[in-house]
Amino acid sequence: MVGAAEVASSAVDASASQQAARAGYASTAASSVLASQPRSVADVLAQSQVEAVMDELDRDLVGLAPVKTRIRDIAALLVIDKLRAAHGLAAQSPSLHMCFTGNPGTGKTTVAMRMAQILHRLGYVRKGHLVAVTRDDLVGQYIGHTAPKTREVLKKAMGGVLFIDEAYYLYKPENERDYGQEAIEILLQVMENQRDDLVVILAGYADRMDTFFQSNPGMSSRIAHHLDFPDYSVGELLHIGTAMLEQRHYRFGPGAREAFEDYLQRRLQQPHFANARSVRNALDRARLRQASRLFADRDKVLSADELTTIEAADIRASRLFAVPSTNTTSTTSHEDARHA
């Protein structure tokens, strides 16, 4: 028979074994948690794959070196905050609302899309989608219409980024009956109280955004990052145009690239130039002229080379070339739509 002392001893041994097992499990679990915590910038980058988004941004956009540098600076801040959190250091959730200023066609929407992806991969927004809107999407036309419209847009944007283009049109002080101020007040409340679940990016011309912020200091105080998008140079625009053609399986024929560079020099002297957008419009017109040229000879068997080549004549048929390049500002301001 087993004595009472042996039973007691066995019970003590079993209890000790269980405690040791629990301690071992806890130690293993703790080690696992520590192992999963990022310890270096390289760890965060590897876990988030955020560098892939930055590489896509470099591929998507020509030039814009100051903008890309600023985006990398913001990403660096967020990465370091992740490391601080891993060490248990106090870190206040950073304010990430932004303002993008610059002329049309400088890549603001594209950068906003990539910014949403960066924030998502680093865990600062849940979904990483972009909702792009203008005043018409937020402001109603009668009493009681604006609040539901604005809240519906905010609901769609939660967990991601809300991009408001030409945000200054929300504020029209000359019209006492305008409902834009109601939308602004709702936005301000959400930008403050739900900044952990939504990033707002305001965009537009620099001078108009400055006026908007002067009239709405509450909005200005909530914007942490201001990014200015410079206009593209002729060389950059030519590079953009060449890439656009390649994406559509077209190419410049002999002399056509030089003709397009000449076109850009002239177009830049006109008002309402919209950078990459104007380049796209000009190439669409060139494709139209190429199609008309090829269509004229119905019986000709067309080669792939002929179907993909934009000739110099397709560019120089623009009415811009009917006006001396030193005095093109006298032509219509709707060049993109009519004569590009």
- In a shared domain, residues 53 and 129: yes
- Other Cβ atoms within 10 Å of 87 Cβ, number: 10
Please indicate, yes or no, if residue 73 is contained in any of the structural domains: yes
- In a shared domain, residues 315 and 180: no
pLDDT at 109: 96
Domain limits for position 300? 234-338
- In a shared domain, residues 167 and 268: no
Q: What is the dihedral of CA 243, 244, 250, 252, to 10 degrees?
A: -60
Q: What share of the chain is helix, strand, coil (3-state, %, to 5)?
A: 60, 10, 30
pLDDT at 86: 87
Under a CB-based contact definition with an 8 Å cutoff, are residues 279 and 237 in contact?
yes
CATH number for position 127? 3.40.50.300
The residue among 264, 290, 278 whose CA lies nearest residue 334 is 278
Backbone angles phi, psi at 19, to 5 degrees: -65, -40
What does pLDDT average to in each consecutive run of 10 residues of the chain (340 residues)? 47 51 45 62 89 89 93 92 86 87 96 95 93 96 92 97 97 84 96 94 97 94 96 97 97 98 95 95 98 96 98 96 61 49
pLDDT at 19: 54
pLDDT at 333: 44
Please indicate, yes or no, if residue 71 is contained in any of the structural domains: yes
Q: What is the pTM of this model?
A: 0.81
- Other Cβ atoms within 10 Å of 39 Cβ, number: 12
- In a shared domain, residues 194 and 72: yes
pLDDT at 89: 87
pLDDT at 26: 42
- In a shared domain, residues 278 and 171: no
C-alpha neighbours within 13 Å on the C-beta side of residue 195: 16
C-alpha neighbours within 13 Å on the C-beta side of residue 53: 22
- Other Cβ atoms within 10 Å of 18 Cβ, number: 10
CATH number for position 310? 1.10.8.60
